[in-house]
Amino acid sequence: MRTIIIGNQKGGQGRTTTTINLGHGLAMRGKSVLLVDTDPQGQVATFLGLRQESGLFDLLVGSRPLADVVRSADTDHLDRAGLRVIPGDKRTATAQVVLVAEGFTLGCLADALKRARVDYVIVDTSPSVGLLQEAAIYAADWLICPCAVDYAATEGLAGIMVTLKAVEERGGRCQLLGVIPTFYDEVTRESAATLAQLKEHFGEATWPPIHRATVLRECTAEGLTVFEKAPTSRAAQEYGELVGRVLSYG
């Protein structure tokens, strides 16, 4: 089992879009995948057309068995074989408060997920620094950072790299796998300049960009992945290449 955290300490970077499309893409290639939503906005469920639930709260605070909080990603009209979800909602924020108050350690999420029998666990995170983000990094093998190609976005990327280092010093094993430039627009100078900056800082860990695409916004509104909404689109091709890149690492 490989555990991947999708993170950036700034909102609007494409974290949840990356989470669901990477997860569904892996499932479409025959892998078993569990998506875990640690963001109080609960958007993993929403983006998949599912109902938000207090799954993460029930798992960590309510001590519910893992099997009780895992949901199929299927809908009434869509079969998403191999893809499952631990959904979240606004009670996730309460979970973090309770976990801190009761002295839970960085290993709380790793311990809760250790019985997952899947090929990949993909954890969507909040931009807010706190125990849940740190616990997600601690539980993970790899960190993937979507980063919008604008000047302000790199601050959130720098922030999560600091947190990654701090968790590593406390026993974490998570390593940066890749930085994904998102909302790329090749006609704007800002996109080109930010992409060049990312390549300068992260070298080969800067992966090919995901272009800005109306279809990705439409997917969000309709509760679909890009492979369901527009399988022949450039966005689907780019996310398909991302899936292949992740698979190449084992």
Please, where are the H alpha helices in the chain?
Answer: 15-28, 43-47, 55-60, 66-69, 91-101, 108-113, 131-139, 153-169, 189-202, 214-222, 226-229, 234-248
**List of long-range contacts for 101-106, beta carbons under 8 Å, 24+ apart:** 104/60, 104/131, 104/135, 106/131, 106/134, 106/135, 106/138, 106/167, 106/170, 106/171, 106/172
Predicted confidence (pLDDT) per residue in 145-190, tens digit: 999 998 777 788 899 999 999 999 999 999 999 999 999 998 888 8
Please report how the helices 131-139 and 153-169 are oriented relative to each other, as an axis angle in degrees rounded to 10: 70
Which pTM does this prediction carry? 0.96
Return the pLDDT at 11: 87
Mean pLDDT of 211-223: 96
- The percent of residues in the chain predicted with pLDDT above 90, rounded, is 86
User: Hey, what domains does the chain have and what are their CATH numbers?
Assistant: 2-248 (3.40.50.300)
Mean pLDDT of 4-9: 96
